[in-house]
C-alpha cells in the first residue's frame, strides 16, 4: 500500500484518501484492484455506483480524516480513519 505521504498523483493534486476494491492477507498484495480517490473536502453521503460494500483496504493521507458510516445517507454507526 502507498504511505499516507504518497497520496499525490502525478499532477501534484492532493488526495485525502484512496479506497481499494481488492485485499489480501498478505500485506504486499493489499491495496489492489479498482481505486476510489477521495479529494480534500469531499462529502459523499452515498458511495458511488459499484462501490457499496466493496472497499476492503484504504489509505488516508496526512492532515486528512475519513469518516465512514455503516448505512447510506450518513446513518448508523460511524468510524473515523486518519494517517
The pLDDT of residue 24 is: 76
Q: DSSP character for 41?
A: T
**What is the maximum alpha-carbon separation in the chain?**
37
Q: How confident is the model at residue 81 (pLDDT cuts 50, 70, 90)?
A: very high
pTM given for the model: 0.81
Indicate the DSSP class of residue 47.
Answer: P
Half-sphere exposure of 74 (CA within 13 A, CB side): 6
**Each residue's pLDDT tens digit, 6-60:** 887 667 778 899 999 887 777 777 888 899 999 999 998 888 888 888 888 899 9
Amino acid at each position: 500500500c502507498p504511505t499516507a505521504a504518497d497520496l499525490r498523483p502525478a499532477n501534484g493534486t492532493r488526495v485525502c484518501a484512496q479506497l481499494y476494491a481488492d485485499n489480501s492477507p498478505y500485506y504486499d498484495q493489499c491495496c489492489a484492484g479498482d481505486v476510489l480517490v477521495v479529494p480534500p473536502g469531499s462529502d459523499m453521503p452515498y458511495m458511488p455506483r459499484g462501490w457499496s460494500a466493496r472497499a476492503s483496504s484504504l489509505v488516508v493521507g496526512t492532515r486528512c480524516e475519513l469518516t465512514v458510516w455503516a448505512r447510506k445517507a450518513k446513518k448508523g454507526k460511524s468510524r473515523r480513519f486518519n494517517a
